[in-house]
Amino acid sequence: MTKDELMKTLEIQEEVLQFTHFTNDDAWELGNLLVQEAKKLGICITVQIRRNDMDVFKHAMDGMSGYNMQRMMRKHNTVKLMEKSSLYMYLLIDKSEENKNSLNLPEAEYGFYGGAFPIRVEEAGVIGSVAVSGIGHVADHDFLIKVIGKYLHIDEVPKISTDKM
């Protein structure tokens, strides 16, 4: 897949994976599902869900560190500002130096790598984000997509080809 094809796939993921509503209780359910799925797969991650600028779910599995928490916060900041997945922004910036320079965002505050996804509510827009860290930025994104799709009962979510990144 070319970068443009990957970006188009990420745009489709964001269109497909929209919520009809998203409450703090929904965040609890989604967060717990992310942790359960990680345990099933034998992977260690940190999970954070933000809604309306407030942490509504946060969990760090054994073996994770403050570094993972910092990476998640940067990813959340990126999604909040751009209303796109952090992996989409990674590809946009990777596409050209001009894109990187035009954004002029401090790397200490923004994370241009995969693992955060916008919580977009139909007819309301982006109201938060969900992020994971711990298994590599593309794998973080892929894991999120699979679990959000499972949570929303959506089987047909286009996947990205992770071997091209």
Q: What is the pLDDT of residue 41?
A: 97
Per-residue pLDDT tens digits for 129-150: 999 999 999 999 999 999 999 9
Q: Which two tokens stand for residue 4?
A: 């443009």
pLDDT at 164 over 60: no
What is the average per-residue pLDDT within 102-124?
91
- Residue 61: the pLDDT is 97
Which amino acid, one-letter code, is at 104?
Answer: N
Domains and CATH numbers, the chain: 3-156 (3.30.450.150)
User: Residue 94 has what pLDDT?
Assistant: 83
